[in-house]
Structures are given as C-alpha cells and as structure tokens.
Amino acid sequence: MAYIFHENDLPRLVSIVPGRERTFFVNKELTNIDDMLAGIMRYTHGASSPYHFHENCEHFYFIMEGSGTVETEEGVRKVGPGDMVFIPAEDKHRLRATESPLFYFEFQAPNRFVTTILDGTPDDLRWERVDGRVWVQT
C-alpha cells in the first residue's frame, strides 16, 4: 500500500518556543510504522533548535530554502540549499536559521529515541498541533 499525503492535509506542529514549525509525512500516526520519522521543518529567521543529542537515532537534514548554521562539537558551519547534513546517533548538534528563514526536509531513524537537551528548556521539545492537541517529543 502506498501512502500519498498533501502537505495542506496534514496536521502542523508549532513549537511552544516560537519560530519552528514541522509537518510529518511519515510517523506512527500517519503510516502505522515506528521505524522512521520524516517530514519538513520551517524556521523563522533567527529560530533554532536547542543544543541537543538523540540516543539511538541517526538523522539528516536536507536544506531546500534559506540559510543557516549547524553547530556541533567541531564548531559552526554554514548551510544552504542543496546541503545535506548527517547527524550520527548521540552527536551533539543545533540547527539555526541565520540570514533568512530556513526550510528543510528531516529524516530520523529509528523513531524510538530519547532526546537530551544540553542548552535549552523542556519547552524546546513541546509542539502544539494546529487542532489544539499537544504532542511531546520524547
């Protein structure tokens, strides 16, 4: 069975901390699998993720529009359209929209991971659905 979704028909998740928005295309709710998590992310100019890492989860970002930076233990590097960033499990990282808003595709696997925030607050992992239900990333 193929799943075909249009972005406008999917629930949007808006970060409790302003500036970030995500739309999942693949998750347990939509496709009844828990092996991966995939979707698109939009950051307003200046928005960022907390500095964090994921246990038991590799993921990548594919930057489609805008410019930003990726911070890791090795330093800060600029990213823009066409760049793909691979983050191995347990590597510390932060993505930030620097010179403009940022639009990117994100893929994480497996979707059974724990996120540890190193610089930020628990609200950085709280997302409110457009329909008012709250989804908490664990």
Q: Is residue 3 part of a domain?
A: no
Upstream peptide bond of 101 is cis (omega within 30 degrees of 0): no
The per-residue pLDDT of the chain, averaged, comes to 90
For residue 79, the enclosing domain spans 13-136
DSSP-assigned beta bridge partners for residue 66: 102
Q: How confident is the model at residue 111 (pLDDT cuts 50, 70, 90)?
A: confident
Is residue 137 pLDDT above 80, yes or no?
no
pLDDT tens track for 16-43: 999 999 998 888 888 888 888 899 999 9
- Whole-Å CA distances, 113 to 82, 85, 94, 103, 136: 27, 19, 17, 24, 13
What value does the mean pLDDT take over residues 104-111? Answer: 92
DSSP-assigned letter for residue 30: H
Render 116-129 in DSSP notation, one character per residue: EEEES-GGGGEEEE
Query: Is 4 part of a structural domain of the chain?
Result: no
**pLDDT tier, 70 (very low <50, low <70, confident <90, very high otherwise):** very high
Q: Is 8 a member of any domain?
A: no
Quote the number of domains for the chain. Answer: 1
Q: Which two tokens stand for residue 7?
A: 């972005």
Q: How far apart are CA 27 and CA 69, in angstroms?
A: 26
pLDDT of 134 = 55
**What is the rounded average pLDDT of the residues 110-138?**
80
Q: Is the pLDDT of residue 98 over 90?
A: yes
Is residue 97 predicted with pLDDT exceeding 80?
yes
Structure confidence at residue 118 (pLDDT): 96
- Domain-embedded: residue 2: no
pLDDT at 12: 87
44: in domain: yes
Identify the residue whose tokens are 């970030």.
20
Domain membership flag for residue 26 = yes
Q: Return the CATH number at 113.
A: 2.60.120.10
